Structure 1
Amino acid sequence: MPITLPDEGLFLHLGAHRTGTGSFQEFLSSNADAFADLGVNLAVANRDGQAPSTLRLRLPDARHFRKGLLEERAALRDEALTEARVNLRARSIISEENIPGSFNAIFADAPYRAARERMAFLASALSRPVRRILFVTRSYETFFPSAYRKRCEFRKIAPFSEYAPRFMEATRGWADLVEDIAAAFSPGEILVARYEDRPTHEALLHALLPETTQMRFAPLERRFNVSATDAACRAMQAAFETNPKLSPREIRAIIHAHADDRSGPPVAEFSERDRAALRDRYTRDLDRIAKIPGVTFLGT
């Protein structure tokens, strides 16, 4: 039976951070041969897996837009798109969680504040239409602690109690970000999945690119980008006290050494009152997202 090719165009997976993006990217990259058989180019920023990254974007931050420092970033953008063959192939899957904003954008008073500008900056360089976009949300009362725990791997940071008020007062959320996605890319469809529903890699892929149901894809043999335990987070922070420049290998060694250690209190946890408020905020944002034209929720 002949294979039905997808429409020409782009199919984007934009994260978000801390929603299983790394493992999904490893799933995509580890099945590169199947995508080649389907005539689909992979442009994947696979930072946490074993398969190599094929996309290395460096988009402008808020300060670049504010100061008009875009020429260098435009050159870097165009170079990355050329290396990943995005404008040279009829069909591409792009998977990069940093397109709306870098990991640090989570910790701003207005999370992902430059998302619309960043995404429009990328969209202006794309030569093919964006057919479909996949975005995964996560309830704020678990998303923010997960982001904090990940930040423990980068450098010495303040206790979670100093971050919590900023998270509670954040002036932007998922609904704002999905509105930015729609405005920047004008896609044919935006697919939104809830992290709490734990959709499988295959389910996410089939939603993003229905033609992949014709193909056979190998599942991952192990988990990727697994969160560090509380004990590992405490150990990393203690290590940063004496060595502020721990290498990635040293960080991985600490995480591995404490993988089974469940001792001690959580390093990142909201009060029950704040958790309830964040769950309510999440519910309101999901309701707002459902009213955005072109949005489809997976599994509903």
Structure 2
Amino acid sequence: MVRKLYLHAGAHRTGTSSFQLCLAANRQQLESDGYDLAYPGRDGAPEGHLHLRLPKPSHGEDQHGAFVGKVTRALKKHVSGEDQPLVLSEENLLGLIIHFFSGRLYPARRKRLRVFRDGLEAVGAEAEHILLIVRPYDELFVSGFRKHAEDNAVEPFETHAEAMTTFRGGWPEAVKALQNVLKPKSMTVVEYGARGTSSELLVRLLGAEAGAYVEPDYDLNVSATDAALEHLQGIYHAGKVLEREGWQAVIAQYAEHGEDRGFARFSEAQSETLATRYRDDLARIGSMEGVTLIT
């Protein structure tokens, strides 16, 4: 029997952590309904133990088999029975945030997805439905930069702004990669502003009845203010390192200092360029066969 995969493919800065928290909040119900669950715990989602090792752009095809072995071992920890359907959420499936800043949106997407596909095949799974949330490019890149700056030293946003404005790849390319490599029976793409609650997204993913799942009662991610990010960058550029608990304490300390200090901002012209491209790309996605676009 084929094991059906219901895949929430993220992506970054689109509410993925909240969705994974929703999976945790509904674990008992989902398991009672016959689903296995797999999601990471990097942002604190309870019982999040998924750890997929996927290739970066620098990895060659000769390393494909080794990565497949790692992914297969990771997936086997989350499946039970021979045909139990699997609900999996992973924002890093397509790639990493770091590549945004050099003007590339998920450059290793096909390489990573091929590894993931072969790992799925090893555990008898095939993609039934894929859910992807897409966000306007200017918001995506600003939010990604700010998130990265929470625990890494970064150069000023202006250093990367032009490369991000003229970036390679895009949401249509990500959608096509998911379709062409994983070959899902169906795919839903939801525009960030229309995503609704995490429990509503879970209903969309599984084709369940409205109201079938509860909404988690707290949020994992508290956004850092400009003041917090400036303070953190001072620490990092002085050569110091903070563990998660340390930088989160700084974020909490400056939570009330919410004034806009221009830490990460595109110019008006750059924002308009990215907005135009996003509108055009949504239109491209809307015309793709096998894709339902929610805006």
Which TM-score band (shorter chain)? over 0.9
Residue 154 of structure 1 aligns with which residue? Answer: 151
Aligned counterpart in structure 2 of residue 218 of structure 1, from 181, 202, 214: 214
Letter in 2 for 1:203: E
Aligned counterpart in structure 2 of residue 142 of structure 1, from 139, 148, 160: 139
Deviation at 1:14, TM superposition (A): 0.5
RMSD, matched Cα = 1.8
Q: In the alignment, is residue 257 of structure 1 matched against residue 253 of structure 2?
A: yes
Contact 1:228–1:259 (Cα < 8 Å) also in 2: yes
Residue 89 of structure 2 aligns with which residue? Answer: 95
TM-aligned CA distance change 1:199 to 1:222, over 3 Å: same
Equivalent-residue separation in structure 2 for 1:93 and 1:73 (angstroms): 21
Residue 238 of structure 2 aligns with which residue? Answer: 242
Deviation at 1:258, TM superposition (A): 0.8
Q: Which runs of 5+ in 2 are unaligned?
A: none
Letter in 2 for 1:221: D
Contact 1:101–1:114 (Cα < 8 Å) also in 2: yes
**C-alpha distance after superposition, 1:168-189 (max 9, x if no partner):** 1112111111111111111111
Residue 49 of structure 1 aligns with which residue? Answer: 44
Contact 1:109–1:167 (Cα < 8 Å) also in 2: yes
Residue 191 of structure 2 aligns with which residue? Answer: 194
Q: Which runs of 5+ in 1 are unaligned?
A: 1-6
How many matched pairs?
A: 291
**Identity fraction in percent:** 31
Equivalent-residue separation in structure 1 for 2:125 and 2:112 (angstroms): 18
Contact 1:82–1:88 (Cα < 8 Å) also in 2: no
TM-aligned CA distance change 1:50 to 1:180, over 3 Å: closer
Contact 1:19–1:195 (Cα < 8 Å) also in 2: yes
Residue 278 of structure 1 aligns with which residue? Answer: 274
TM-aligned CA distance change 1:86 to 1:125, over 3 Å: farther
Q: In the alignment, is residue 81 of structure 1 matched against residue 100 of structure 2?
A: no
SS of the residue corresponding to residue 208 of structure 2 reads helix
Letter in 2 for 1:112: Y
Contact 2:200–2:211 (Cα < 8 Å) also in 1: no
Letter in 2 for 1:158: E
Aligned counterpart in structure 2 of residue 116 of structure 1, from 110, 114, 119: 110
TM-aligned CA distance change 1:108 to 1:90, over 3 Å: farther
Q: Which runs of 4+ in 1 moved over 3 A?
A: 86-89, 212-215
Equivalent-residue separation in structure 1 for 2:204 and 2:80 (angstroms): 21
